[in-house]
Chain A
């Protein structure tokens, strides 16, 4: 079959690889019908996620049709149209059974790698390096889905592929970001990053009772989409001083809930950007936390910072004093796909949110490398490229 393989920093190739097969009794094989790029893939491309190996198939946000099931699979059958969560959960450990699926004890094949860096390791993730299990990703014609019963969800008839595919990752991640905020009716919620996950976080903030949603980015077309589809007020950080703008927009109090949907490769303006890039380049810090710093400064006293943008390692110049003395609450994590996907499929089926507007480019898998280049450089008003192999 055809697959998009990572062959080094910013080196992607479409290659012919063997078809996947059932390796464990709980596996299924899914024929991929749609597979989306994700901002977190850019960290792989740029070399900030260690334990990638040449030849790894990337991609983790996908849907498709079940073509084969292992002997222990009970809920799925051949022909089912399913969306699959990007994070693998075994279903049997303490964390899966308490709905904290990305903390699964068992799905990571090589937890010893992350245990050295983090103390304890999280779940495996499709196509996201050997630190997260080394599972082959979804930018391919077929994919092996371990723990198929827990991670795959049948898509209701009325939902089209273009909407369903984003309930694999972007929507549950955004929804969890808003959920972790603990939004009280009428709260002002600010979302840094108006990409796929940020857009879904804005939509979810409304669903959870926000009184006001503010989006921050620097790409006018993304801000325009946030305004049009997510009914957000928008701020371009290249045009206004964010701290001052947020203070004035909230009567001098600051926003109640702040969501970081950007993560470790944050971009900012002025000296701070050069400082962070230089330190990251020589590995004195692994992550550039510009958004996080700004969110901590902007947040009202006693407010909440919710982090779903991906961080990998160590931060520098982290304003802990501000966070402590303002009594901020921090919530964060890789998303709990299996907890949220059924609810989100209902929300999409009801027409409350239609994530299909994230899909700006539907391309063939053969155009994988060009797709990622466009997504990274954000040319042609690209929000999400989705490959239909």
Chain B
């Protein structure tokens, strides 16, 4: 489990935030893995094409392959390798990211706690609906417009203005869990927001490999989501350049 850094987790006290071992990580159904492949593939392709250097093109090619695997459900690597799904050791991926926001802790917490606000700054979320005091329904966009994934989650721990922890319900498409901590920053700098997201990718060597490949992209995604949160709270807007003039004829800024 080289994606789970035990030492860092001890240092940051994040080891307890693990999703249940129930859903996609324990079953080996085609659909789940195809969604993951398509999602990761689209992400890789997107970031790869955005960068357009050697590494970017390599990312885009790898992304294209994953997209193909997701779209067709056929993986040549699996066939050649005679993929071993019996070895179902689960992989746990944990991403920790912190940012400091120059706003009072209560204001920052309240904005996040109103879960319907989350799609305002989490780029890949389409909709979050509160179903009850603890339960919520989540809809995420699959990058590239391939479709959506949905799941239900429960808030499992809540301390006002301090901490919010959630976990996906058993047998979700992707087992995931998370905790967001809100702390006063020193010297009146505002509020430290620390997000710990953890999830279990689908079993099997190929699923695990794909998850490890995608991990930096997910880390970047968490980082960018937090950054949009900060920008929205500090300035009321998220800076953009899409739509400004340039000498380019394509819409690609």
Chain A interface residues toward B at CB < 8 A:
1, 3, 5, 7, 13, 15, 17-21, 23-26, 53-57, 72, 90-94, 97, 105-109, 111-112, 124, 133-136, 140, 144, 146-147
Interface residue B236 (Cβ < 8 Å from any Cβ of A): yes
Name A57's contact: one of B239, B240, B243, B246 (CB within 8 Å): B246
Interface residue B225 (Cβ < 8 Å from any Cβ of A): no
- Chain B CB within 10 Å — which of A15, A94, A124, A135 has the most? A94
Apart from the given pairs A55-B246, A56-B246, A124-B239, 19 other A-B contacts in the complex at a CB distance below 8 Å: A15-B247, A20-B245, A23-B243, A24-B238, A26-B237, A54-B248, A56-B247, A57-B245, A57-B247, A72-B236, A90-B231, A90-B239, A93-B234, A109-B240, A111-B227, A134-B241, A134-B253, A136-B246, A147-B235
Docked complex Cα distance between A106 and B234 (Å): 8
Contacts of A20 in B (CB 8 A): 244-245
Known contacts A25-B236, A72-B236, A94-B102; A133/B241 CB under 8 A: yes
Contacts of B239 in A (CB 8 A): 24, 90, 106-109, 124, 133, 146
A-B contact pairs, 21 of them (CB 8 A): A3-B247, A17-B247, A18-B245, A19-B245, A23-B240, A23-B241, A23-B242, A23-B244, A26-B235, A26-B237, A57-B247, A72-B236, A72-B237, A91-B235, A92-B102, A93-B235, A106-B230, A133-B239, A136-B245, A136-B246, A140-B245
B237–A25 CB distance below 8 A:
yes
> How far apart are A16's CB and chain B's nearest CB, in angstroms?
9
B: contact size bracket: 20 to 34
> How far apart are B184's CB and chain A's nearest CB, in angstroms?
14
Contacts of B253 in A (CB 8 A): 134
Docked complex Cα distance between A147 and B239 (Å): 9
A17–B235 CB distance below 8 A:
no
B245–A1 CB distance below 8 A:
yes
Which residue of chain A has the shortest Cβ distance to B248 in the bound complex?
A: A55
> How far apart are A366's CB and chain B's nearest CB, in angstroms?
15
Interface residue B114 (Cβ < 8 Å from any Cβ of A): no
A26–B241 CB distance below 8 A:
no
Which residue of chain B has the shortest Cβ distance to A21 in the bound complex?
A: B243
Which residue of chain A has the shortest Cβ distance to B220 in the bound complex?
A: A112
Instruction: Give the secondary structure class of B's interface.
Output: loop
Which residue of chain A has the shortest Cβ distance to B238 in the bound complex?
A: A24
> How far apart are A103's CB and chain B's nearest CB, in angstroms?
13
> How far apart are B111's CB and chain A's nearest CB, in angstroms?
14
Interface residue B134 (Cβ < 8 Å from any Cβ of A): no
A92–B235 CB distance below 8 A:
yes
Interface residue B129 (Cβ < 8 Å from any Cβ of A): no
Docked complex Cα distance between A24 and B230 (Å): 16
Contacts of A135 in B (CB 8 A): 241, 244
Contacts of B100 in A (CB 8 A): 94
A106–B231 CB distance below 8 A:
yes
> How far apart are A13's CB and chain B's nearest CB, in angstroms?
7
Docked complex Cα distance between A53 and B237 (Å): 25
B248–A53 CB distance below 8 A:
yes
> How far apart are A100's CB and chain B's nearest CB, in angstroms?
13
Which residue of chain B has the shortest Cβ distance to A6 in the bound complex?
A: B247
A144–B244 CB distance below 8 A:
yes
Contacts of B244 in A (CB 8 A): 20, 23, 135-136, 144
> How far apart are A367's CB and chain B's nearest CB, in angstroms?
17
Interface residue B161 (Cβ < 8 Å from any Cβ of A): no
Contacts of A144 in B (CB 8 A): 244
Contacts of B234 in A (CB 8 A): 90, 92-93, 105-106
Name A17's contact: one of B189, B230, B238, B245 (CB within 8 Å): B245
